Amino acid sequence: MKIGILNADAVRPEFAVEFGEYPDMFAAILKGVEPSLELLTYEVVNDEYPADLDEVDAYIITGSKLSVYDDVPWIKKLRDFVVQLHGANKTLIGICFGHQMVAEALGGKTSPADSGWCVGVHAIEPTSAAAGYGLPDSELHLRSNHKDQVTQVPSGGKVLARAEACPIASMGLGEHILTFQAHPEFSEGYARALLNMRRDILGEELYRSAMDSLATETDDMRVARCIVDFVTRRATQATGRD
């Protein structure tokens, strides 16, 4: 099974040496669940896209330091590509910026959070709709690092999980789209590096609270399993229709 990673950013060079690029981070957790997965990377910031939508079985949109509403050519093109994927009923996973991009492209809304930066480990609580997308019915702890968040889901979209600091922490649309605001792909070390980098921006109180929260055990692999199962189920359904 093939998954295409629509990479929307580059890791700072000094961090990439230790933690890899975002596709490397996704490979670590997804192949940790299913080693036979084949992952292809498309550098969308450099205008790299598949020649054919069916080149892979599913797509993942990564995080990014930019905002989905920024007036940047590659962001506009990615937004159009999301519309194309949705129109083709293609399986799509969105993470952080990817979560927000799916909402923005398909008629929802993304805005700066009133509460500012959401960083560190946060608990998300699945809704009654979560089971339909393969999410567990118990609380999940995940690492977050964002100042924007989805404030309105697209028409037909379902809120799958909520957090105190992020009311739309996970979203589903149709049978083919699953998104998360948090970062299951972030290691504790990378999350710590980002917090240290933004210490002055965050302020000492938020920085300290977020750093302390990193001691909390996270559910990265449970979410990775949900993603792999979601993609596998969709691929099996598509094969059955052929």
**Which residues are designated catalytic?**
96, 183, 185
Q: What is the DSSP code (8-state) at residue 37?
A: -
- In the numeric block, which tokens belong to residue 118? 């959401």
87 Cβ contact list (under 8 Å, min separation 6):
none
- 91-156-180 Cα angle (round to 5): 50
| Helices and strands, number each (H, E), in the chain | 8, 11
Strands of the chain (E only): list them.
Answer: 2-7, 38-43, 58-61, 91-95, 109-112, 118-126, 140-146, 148-152, 157-163, 166-173, 177-180
User: Mind giving me the DSSP string for 147-168?
Assistant: SEEEEEPPTTEEEEEEETTEEE
Q: For residues 143 and 193, what is the distance between their CA atoms, to the nearest angstrom?
A: 13
